[in-house]
Chain A
Amino acid sequence: MTYRPPHIPSSEITPKSVYLNRRQLIAGAAAAGGLALTGGSAFAATPIRIGNKVDDAKGETVTPKESATTYNNFYEFGTDKSDPAKNSGKFKPLPWAIKVDGMVGKPQTFGFEDLLATMPIEERIYRFRCVEAWSMVIPWDGFQLSELLKKVEPLASAKYVAFETVVRPEEMPGQKGYFQPLPWPYVDGLRLDEAMQPLTLMAVGMYGEALPNQSGAPIRLIVPWKYGFKSIKSIVRITLTDKEPPCSWNKAAANEYGFYSNVNPKRDHPRWSQATERRIGGKTGFFSGGGDRRDTLMFNGYDEVASLYNGMDLINTYY
């Protein structure tokens, strides 16, 4: 049976002022713990308890939520931009657990609800730049990956962090069928110092609500100075290692997608330019910002990460 959303009469829709107020109450109760999650379909609309709010996009206009949640690359649900929103209805983000292992003192498996209840969740407004030369500005809700990694006590020998997306062909139609664009599971990785950078976020929500399935529910990585495909979705495993971990796109085409994949207007994709980007602006139409093209910034504008790459040739070698 297919899922049908319940019909909600307009008289039952909570007025915005009331739910905003409720969100403040929830934020106020932050110290007391997380929120009760009912699971399943109701999950995506669950408000997230938010502490600090940080605008790391310097006041740029936030992309309308409708655009950010209907224009996605998430090949587990299909290769068209509209596929993830259309084909992710069967995906069950709860219950969920993340195994953190490898070169750590305290390997652990974290239940998603525990993370939600105990981690310091902030809103971070970040620019998001896809390797396909389009971009958005998105308010993520999440905690710093560094906070999670501290809990497992990385060993001195650990140099890299490897991430892995869930494999569920029954719930993810893109993982089924004859022609599959990538081998599963989708994997990616960071250097440990990149993973510890305060900008690196484990997002559990966007726009103040739990992540919708098409955006990587229930928990995903956000690395705002790298191309979007590095921000791996629906993570089930994090492994610390001393070797550069495999990355799905790098394995598919090494000359096109490097391990680092930092946003870099000077290093073109072999087939297209990265000097500019199209800002996805919502349902604006051709003549009201639909073709908003702007210059791409080095590190997507996050200059504070430049010191991570001192002395490295980011154009020819470490792209």
Chain B
Amino acid sequence: MTATSTRPAAPARPFNWLPVKIWALYIVGLVPAVWYFYLGATGNLGADPVVTFEHNLGFWAIRFLLATLAITPIFILGGPNLIAYRRALGLLGFWYVLFHFTVYLTLDRALDFSAIIPDIVKRPYITIGMLGFIMLIPLALTSNRFSIRRLGPRWNKLHKLSYLVIIAGVVHFVMSTKVLIVEQMIYIVLTALLLGFRVFKKPIMNWRKERMKAKRLAKA
């Protein structure tokens, strides 16, 4: 009768902050878009508000995609494991590409498809940007747990498309400008480093394993 009262109380589990932090990342990540939209809508984004907004959305898309690709190298090179945040970063990148494309279609081109379609077909930098966006769509659609489970090892293969996406994004940006300056160089170098890391990932990991083994042997 009194069985329940004799059971020892379960130890208090520490509150899991991780989901909160991930949601906070989503919210903070959307701040630039909201802020620039507010500035543009109220006439505080300079003389050319539409293009300034459009470009800033594009920059943030590239930044989030680069951050997504930095998670693995940071961990392998001995940094913290931020894998829990990778999906949020990647999705933010996708959202910013979508915002950027939407602003191009609406505020910039006013849905004038007689201009938009030739633009996408004829202008290599727009074609490349568009390809990057198209490749990003299946990645966004399969960014849920169900897809990861369902696709198994194929999920990893599919998500290697993100390497092509970042190349398309940076090439799209660089080709749209008149001269190569420091800003473009920074994005090119970061992309080269992050993708270069993938090429040399195996030797880097082997080197780390060897080093750990050597340490263990030395201790023994």
B51 at the interface (CB under 8 A from A): yes
Is B41 a contact of A285 with CB atoms below 8 Å?
A: yes
Once A81-B48, A290-B107 are accepted as A-B contacts, the answer to whether A285 and B40 lie under 8 Å apart by CB is: yes
How many angstroms between the C-alpha atoms of A132 and B47 in the bound complex? 14
Contact of B176 (CB < 8 Å), options: A68, A70, A271, A284: A271
Is A278 a contact of B50 with CB atoms below 8 Å?
A: yes
Chain B residues, CB < 8 A from A71: 46-48
Instruction: Tally chain B residues at the interface, Cβ within 8 Å.
Output: 32
A98 CB to nearest chain B CB (Å):
28
Is A271 a contact of B125 with CB atoms below 8 Å?
A: yes
Q: For residue B37, which residue of chain A has the nearest CB?
A: A286
Is A70 a contact of B41 with CB atoms below 8 Å?
A: no
Is B179 a contact of A79 with CB atoms below 8 Å?
A: yes
A203 CB to nearest chain B CB (Å):
19
A70 CB to nearest chain B CB (Å):
6
Chain A residues, CB < 8 A from B178: 132, 181
Once A271-B175, A271-B176, A284-B49 are accepted as A-B contacts, the answer to whether A291 and B118 lie under 8 Å apart by CB is: no
Is B123 a contact of A283 with CB atoms below 8 Å?
A: no
Chain A residues, CB < 8 A from B175: 271
Is B42 a contact of A285 with CB atoms below 8 Å?
A: yes
A54 at the interface (CB under 8 A from B): no
> At the interface with chain A, which of B69-77, B108-116, B133-141?
B108-116
Instruction: Tally chain A residues at the interface, Cβ within 8 Å.
Output: 33
Interface residues of A in 235-285 (CB under 8 A from B): 252, 271-273, 275-276, 278, 280-285
Chain A residues, CB < 8 A from B40: 285-286, 290
Is B41 a contact of A283 with CB atoms below 8 Å?
A: no
Chain A residues, CB < 8 A from B185: 179
Once A271-B124, A273-B118, A290-B40 are accepted as A-B contacts, the answer to whether A285 and B49 lie under 8 Å apart by CB is: yes
Is B182 a contact of A179 with CB atoms below 8 Å?
A: yes
Chain A residues, CB < 8 A from B210: none
B211 CB to nearest chain A CB (Å):
37
How many angstroms between the C-alpha atoms of A272 and B24 in the bound complex? 39
Once A179-B185, A276-B115, A293-B109 are accepted as A-B contacts, the answer to whether A70 and B48 lie under 8 Å apart by CB is: no
Is B47 a contact of A179 with CB atoms below 8 Å?
A: no
Is B123 a contact of A271 with CB atoms below 8 Å?
A: yes
A112 at the interface (CB under 8 A from B): no
Chain B residues, CB < 8 A from A132: 178
Chain A residues, CB < 8 A from B118: 273
B122 CB to nearest chain A CB (Å):
8
B127 CB to nearest chain A CB (Å):
11
A119 at the interface (CB under 8 A from B): no
B167 CB to nearest chain A CB (Å):
18
Is B48 a contact of A272 with CB atoms below 8 Å?
A: no
B44 at the interface (CB under 8 A from A): yes
Is B47 a contact of A70 with CB atoms below 8 Å?
A: yes
Interface residues of A in 72-125 (CB under 8 A from B): 75, 79, 81-82
B32 at the interface (CB under 8 A from A): no
The 4 closest A-B pairs by CB, nearest first: A71-B47, A285-B43, A67-B47, A181-B179
Chain B interface (Cβ within 8 Å of chain A)? Answer: 40-51, 53, 107-110, 115, 118-119, 122-125, 175-176, 178-182, 185
Listed A/B pairs (20) with beta-carbon separation below 8 Å: A67-B47, A75-B179, A79-B179, A132-B178, A179-B181, A182-B179, A271-B123, A271-B124, A271-B176, A272-B123, A273-B118, A273-B119, A283-B46, A285-B41, A286-B40, A287-B41, A288-B43, A290-B49, A291-B110, A293-B110
Chain A interface (Cβ within 8 Å of chain B)? Answer: 66-68, 70-71, 75, 79, 81-82, 132, 134, 179, 181-182, 252, 271-273, 275-276, 278, 280-288, 290-291, 293
Given A70-B46, A278-B48: 13 more A-B contacts, CB < 8 Å: A68-B47, A79-B179, A81-B48, A179-B185, A271-B123, A271-B124, A272-B176, A273-B123, A278-B50, A283-B46, A285-B43, A291-B110, A293-B109
